Structure 1
């Protein structure tokens, strides 16, 4: 365990940010009664799971890589915040539906629909087992999953990380296949985002011992916590924060990531015959327009979300997102910028002050109908323009302003250089073992200049990068134009997308 800077922790609802020398961390304000369980490296849970690294975190849980000492394999422990734990399991019960995963080994007669899933059930992951943790912040549900790699939103993330084009198309096809399997069994995912699509780890990963991982990825990076009062953060907070494991470390000599995806997080799932009546919990930037105006989600809204995920996987950016896209009204505005005007009926949708659709005509909630919000689009960018603006990998790590490869310059400038001190800083290319899958725009030196984060010069520097080749751009525009159809009844079904030429370039 390597300690670095200090972060101050207030204990109850204080303004806290992640320390600057850690990439990201969970919301530290939630280390309080009802919130996160404080986890320390080396903790053992249920007398068998020893925590070695942090994997992920979200608004309702932290996820940890642990060694199952009973069967000598790696698992992921998802520890849910206390206030959500009592109802979390009931929301996840659909994950046991036979359309999601086959029993292994078969313990009963396999139905015809289950048989049709043979060979494709590895597209999904469900809970192996669960147990409870009683801690200083309450009682927490702990879900045990097989260990998985990073999600695709982390691997395809703007200027920081991009998937190679062939690999992006391969993963996108698998995502479409996963949706087909769900829909053919009468299920909708409800939250089909790039963040819920993960890479599986290689079969060899379980053979690594703890010391092997510490050598391969270096010890976990930590930052001590200090309270504003000067009191120890315990019992409600941990002694230190842990940075999430970087499976793509520049120092890694072995690639532990497979080329197979796995869809997770069925909390928002529902059967096609019983859609939820309330607004689903999917991020606004993935919200289908018909759901944004108050209609029920459906397989068609899953397909819309798939289109958003495909764009993110291939480009590193979210197609219907601006920095303030946080609610359905915001989502509709962004959709209209790319796909054109909404129907007259949808333009008359009333929205609350929070940007939520008001569908009950008797609702007395203060709401407003402002059609002009969806018509005055001064910064409209049609879908075709967005696709043709997608940057791709240049010929080498050193290029001139025309995008041509050039020798490594003797002197380099670092634009926005605050993160360059890190071992895995943004200017470090991915390890050779990963370069068939990934590349970093920030690892490219343009006319002697690097940049480590978005800044005023980002757009200028990115002009040196090549754009997506026209043959692929035209086919991708065709695919997305079909998916991003306003009328959900006219939107293609997931199964109809599998033969689209973009997936098979």
Structure 2
């Protein structure tokens, strides 16, 4: 058992408290491997701190007992049980995409901004379930967490622009290699780590002041330890829903980030990632999300599309003809016919941080990504050269 010599040094939470992964929708205790601090996985990776959790995994800082001191700390994602095809597919996709991208030849600067697997293995839980474990080089906090540290919940302008160019460079590498990420958002962009001492401090903090946890007969549920600020470049992470190849179909993307072709059941390609970058401009810099897309807290395609019409104008008729689902919302000329009113707003009005020519350039930049026809969205490398980046940050 971890921390036996100071068994009461941590704060034990009441058993009735719901914390961390216990609060995810559809939670089942036996879906999650019961990781414990101090445990050694695969006779190699000793768990030293909890970093986070999600619907499909818990994430931990671990020490590689076979590595040199300077490279000993890793991040390990312990996936939920391979009980459902969705969880199996996401772990398998992460492994397959990493294996493929590591085989891609040629030099591309975007390769430096992609987080790929170091290795992977499977473990068996006491419940008899199998769990994939994915090992990575450690990274810092998400861009969501970094943004929330600013008083107005918006990145400083020069940091915002530099971040965008790095993300676009990483996406250009992916797209040239034939990979669509499908899940671009601030939650999947993490800061790099330049100085390993930051992570060593995290490990030491867990030893000196163990994090609170809820102790149950068959497992402990730990509170995630907050990540410190690190100063490396942003890195694109989480390839569990990535696709390889040019054309695809099916539902993808975070709810408020879905491109119109996805909502309307059309074929889609790598341009969905560029739509997501366009939406992300508001999450990172404009103090608000671009789309609400909900009625009484429930996601609504109709509301989402009405908001798109208000910001982009009506879709062109040739776009409407690509999906039968369009008939629920548009006539053959692209006019809105659904019951939800189209809001009175524009992209120019929704931009609140800039003024003058720079504001105009920002809106033009956003419009290049936020357009109905995906084939009209520029490539990532073309967007890196946009006039918006030519304005000097003051």
Could you tell me the TM-score, scaled by structure 1's length?
0.64
- Give CA-to-partner distance per residue, 1:31-68, whole Å, 9 cap, x none: 433x1122222222122222222212111111111122
Q: Distance in 1 between matches of 2:237 and 2:179?
A: 14
1: CA distance, partners of 2:112 / 2:275: 23
Query: RMSD across aligned C-alpha pairs, in angstroms?
Result: 3.3
Residue 147 (1) aligns with residue 33 (2) = no
State the Cα distance separating 1:316 from its structure 2 match. 4.5
Structure 1 residue 387 and structure 2 residue 351: aligned?
A: yes
Q: Specify the alignment match of 2:171 in structure 1.
A: 179
Displacement of 1:304 after TM fit? 0.7
Distance 1:162 1:7, change over 3 A: farther
Task: Indicate yes or no: 2:61 matched with 1:37.
Answer: no
Q: For 2:79 and 2:235, how far apart are their aligned partners in 1?
A: 21
Q: Confirm whether residue 305 of structure 1 aligns to residue 269 of structure 2.
A: no
1:246 alignment counterpart: 226
Aligned-pair CA distance for 1:147: 0.9
Quick one: distance in 2 between partners of 1:134 and 1:97? Answer: 24
**After the TM superposition, which residues 329-408 of structure 1 pair with which residues of structure 2 at under 5 Å, given as runs?**
329-343=302-316, 371-373=336-338, 376-377=341-342, 379-388=343-352, 390=353
Q: Does 1:271 align with 2:244?
A: yes
Structure 1 residue runs without a partner (length 5+): 10-16, 103-112, 226-232, 249-254, 351-356, 360-366, 391-467
C-alpha deviation, 1:28, in angstroms: 8.1
Q: Report what 1:317 is aligned to.
A: 288
Distance 2:202 2:164 in 1: 33
* Deviation at residue 175 of structure 1 after TM alignment: 0.4
- Work out the number of aligned pairs and report it: 368
Alignment match of 1:190 (pick from 182, 194, 197): 182
- Give 5+ residue unaligned stretches, structure 2: 1-8, 331-335
Number of the residue aligned with 1:224: 214
The answer (yes or no) to whether the contact 2:319–2:372 under 8 Å persists in 1 is no
Aligned in 2, Cα 1:504/1:136: closer, same or farther, shift over 3 Å? farther
- 1:75 equivalent to 2:71? Answer no
Q: 1:329 to 1:60 in 2, by over 3 A?
A: farther
Task: State the match for 1:130 in structure 2.
Answer: 120
* Larger helix share, 1 or 2: 2
1:448-487 matches, within 5 Å, as 468-487=354-373
Residues 1:162 and 1:70: Cα distance change in structure 2 (over 3 Å): farther
1:27 equivalent in structure 2: 24
Task: Name which one, 1 or 2, has greater alpha-carbon Rg.
Answer: 1
Structure 1 residue 121, shift from structure 2 partner: 1.8
Relative distance call for 1:32 and 1:289 in structure 2 (3 A) is: same
Residues 49 and 69, structure 1, Cα contact 8 Å, conserved in 2? yes
